[in-house]
Every structure is written in C-alpha cells, then in structure tokens.
C-alpha cells in the first residue's frame, strides 16, 4: 500500500515559480513510476510529468517541457515538481500518482495509476 501526500501549492503571478512535493509512504519492494497530473475546472485530468523511482528517463507533457522539472529523492521517499515560468493556463489542482513500474502502458494514462494523493491547488494570475 502506498499513501501520497502533496504540498507546496499556492498562488503566484505569471512568470513565477513553485515547487510541489509529494511525500510517499513505504513503497515496498520494487520500482514505481511516479507522476504529476493536473485537472482544471471542467477539464479532464492530464499528465504533466513522470519519473521512475529506480532511475531512468523522465517524461513531460509538451505544454510544460522546458519549464517544469520532475525529480525524486529516494532516501526521503519524496517526489518533486519544480515549476518555473508559470502561466495562467497552468492553474489547476495538481495530483501525485504512483503505479508499479512493471504495470506498463503510457506514462500519461491516468487510469493505469493505482495510488493517488488528495491534490494541491496551483493558481497563476496574469
């Protein structure tokens, strides 16, 4: 069982930065794919970025490439999302998610993730 708790959301002006954190309980044995998703009002939840806890490539949505950076601190069992050059269209509830690495499937398929956090709100004003 994995429990995820996000923090770090808030309000910021366009061009500003925020860093989201996701503290994870014990993973158990094995490698996980951990991801950030976001959902704006009236829109579907979309993948933002993902990374394997065992190392390897990171994945990003085209809309955030070059502005957001996902990282994972294994000793702290914490996932991060550094968000720079924020835009009003980045406004959304941001969710942390995890699934066992063996599960497969594209990283941004939200229905393949087993564990979800409660979300943290990010609001970017123009």
Residue 25, pLDDT score: 85
Does residue 29 surpass a pLDDT of 60?
no
User: 10 Å Cβ neighbour count for 117?
Assistant: 22
**Percent of the chain, pLDDT > 90?**
79
Confidence of residue 63 (pLDDT cuts 50, 70, 90): very high
Sign of the torsion angle spanned by Cα atoms 92, 117, 77, 11: positive
Nearest CA among 125, 51, 120 for reference residue 86? 125
Counted residue by residue, the chain has a size of: 126
């Amino acid at each position: 069982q994995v429990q995820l708790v996000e923090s770090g959301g808030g309000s910021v002006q366009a061009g500003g930065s925020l860093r989201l954190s996701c503290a994870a309980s014990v993973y158990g044995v094995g490698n996980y794919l951990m991801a950030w998703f976001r959902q704006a009002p009236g829109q579907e939840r979309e993948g933002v970025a993902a990374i394997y806890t065992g190392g390897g490539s990171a994945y990003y949505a085209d809309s955030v490439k070059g502005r957001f950076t996902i990282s994972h601190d294994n000793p702290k069992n914490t996932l991060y999302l550094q968000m720079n050059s924020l835009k009003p269209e980045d406004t959304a509830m941001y969710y942390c998610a995890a699934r066992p690495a063996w599960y497969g499937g594209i990283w941004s398929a939200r229905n393949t993730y087993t564990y979800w956090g409660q979300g943290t709100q990010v609001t970017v004003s123009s």
